[in-house]
């Protein structure tokens, strides 16, 4: 029989909503955001995960995140990566999808129903001009004081980085893809 004491839960003196940016050219930004969603769900927190890109391939996180319902909801808004990996969609289609994602994010952020809102690949969307800087900064400005807002994707804009509370950069040291190994189910998607 295990005689270890119950774990103590850390309580902060002051509850504060954080802006978290996960950026860089390495693998693991979305996975890190999914970890935040998993952790938040474990505390009974309500999470909205909005994916701005990647919608053209089925990914394991789509099915696994459903198991965290009703605490976590997942919205795939894009048609895939814009301008790479055999993309057949025109720029205006990608921009329209990203604009719908911005509108959804605005609704979720202002609803008061969520503890965490995750904007996956929004940094890429900004870099590719699918969304505008003033729209992203507007989401930061609209964030209620206790809401945690997570922004992922490569090439985070300096102004977004400046305004964030926590910024993590995922750096690629080595990647199987650069060795000619195709993406692997359960690891890459």
The string of pLDDT tens digits covering residues 38-59 is 999 999 999 999 999 765 566 7
For residue range 81-95, what is the model confidence (pLDDT) as tens digits?
Answer: 654 556 565 767 878
Q: What is the CATH number of the domain that holds 91?
A: 3.40.50.300
The closest of 97, 89, 47 to 71, measured between CA atoms, is 47
**Tally of domains within the chain:** 1
Residue 109 within a domain? yes
Residue 24: which domain range? 19-171
């Amino acid at each position: 029989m295990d005689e270890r004491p119950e774990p103590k839960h850390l309580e902060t003196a002051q509850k504060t909503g954080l802006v978290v940016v996960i950026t860089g050219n390495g693998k693991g930004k979305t996975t890190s955001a999914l970890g935040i969603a998993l952790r938040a769900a474990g505390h009974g927190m309500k999470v909205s995960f909005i994916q701005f890109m990647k919608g053209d391939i089925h990914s394991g996180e789509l099915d696994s995140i459903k198991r965290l319902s009703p605490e976590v909801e997942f919205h795939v808004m894009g048609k895939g990566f814009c301008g790479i990996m055999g993309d057949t969609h025109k720029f205006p289609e990608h921009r329209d999808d990203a604009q719908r994602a911005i509108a959804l994010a605005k609704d979720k952020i202002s609803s008061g129903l969520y503890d965490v809102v995750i904007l996956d690949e929004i940094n890429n969307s900004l870099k590719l001009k699918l969304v505008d800087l003033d729209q992203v900064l507007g989401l930061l400005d609209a964030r209620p004081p206790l809401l945690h807002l997570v922004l992922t994707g490569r090439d985070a804009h300096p102004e977004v980085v400046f305004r964030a509370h926590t910024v993590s950069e995922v750096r690629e040291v080595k990647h199987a893809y650069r060795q000619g190994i195709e993406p692997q189910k359960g690891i890459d998607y």
